[in-house]
Structure 1
Amino acid sequence: MLTLTLNGTPREIRSSSDTPLLYVLRDELGLNAAKYGCGLGQCGACTVILDGDAIFSCITPVMLAANRKVTTLEGLGTIEHPGPLQQAFIDEQAAQCGYCIPGMMMRAKALLDKEPDVSDDMMRDELEPHLCRCGTHMRILRAVQRAAKAVLTPTTTEAAP
């Protein structure tokens, strides 16, 4: 039996070690944000974060996630309390059909965690592997920019002196 840390919680995995991580997330663990798109690592719909790096979960055997940290969109926030990146996508109305958005958000999250002062070119390069037919590309870029600003200038609830 394999163990991985999923969204901060250790989880034992019963699936075969060669099962794609995407299938384990969706079928065994009931997390449906990562989507099956192509099954070939070419569309980005299945993107999750593994130890800080964005990966295609459809082509990653679960054995490669053993004893490592996996973060999915469900780990970024909730409907009631969305995380900063999720809130930025909401504020910019960056999602249309929503199929590609979870993968794009995870790739953007990995980028912002490494480089919060991200340039437009860096964002475009990082999101390039993702296929999207909705036409909200400019809103997606604005959402990532908004999230980057939120990371760089966090708000505080403390009273001023």
Structure 2
Amino acid sequence: MPPTWQRVRPPQRRNTYGYADLTDQSPLLAFGHGLSYTSFDIAYIGEAEVRDGLLRTPVRVSDTGSVHGETVVQLYVRQEVAGAVQPVRRLVQFQRVALAACESADLVLEALLARLHCALPDGRRGLEHTQVAVMTGLISDNIRCVTSVPVPSTSSDTVLLMTEGSST
């Protein structure tokens, strides 16, 4: 090798879980993204409440465009304070709605509180007494309505057993 050439080591790469050639690691299209010839709006028409083991969220969806269309209303929740690590946003319910131009529809999205259960420190599945952020939108990266509701603690009799060699 000529003396003017230097042997250059390739740069060391860290283990990453994205594409190394992209500066923006967010998804190209958000969950719920779709093409439509119309536009929609969403708003709360009442207070979110927890009753009989259900989280109920009343919303109004409006087709604000000039043609009929369909959309999917998505209900997400997030535990504000938790003893265990929780997801930033958890999809717990969704509903498809077809609307004519300039039409509105009132929906009540209902989700079982059991969908919020996680492993408690004593090994049972349940939910700690906490505030839960209730988020509603049409696309996962465009949440338009956010409110908070208190949730009582619940637990089930199911005990999670972690044994050697088991996987989750």
TM-score exceeds 0.5? no
Hey, which of these two has a bigger chunk of helix by percent? Answer: 1
Which entry has the higher C-alpha Rg, 1 or 2? Answer: 2
Question: TM-score when scaled to structure 2?
Answer: 0.23
Question: TM-score when scaled to structure 1?
Answer: 0.23
Hey, which of these two has a bigger chunk of strand by percent? Answer: 2
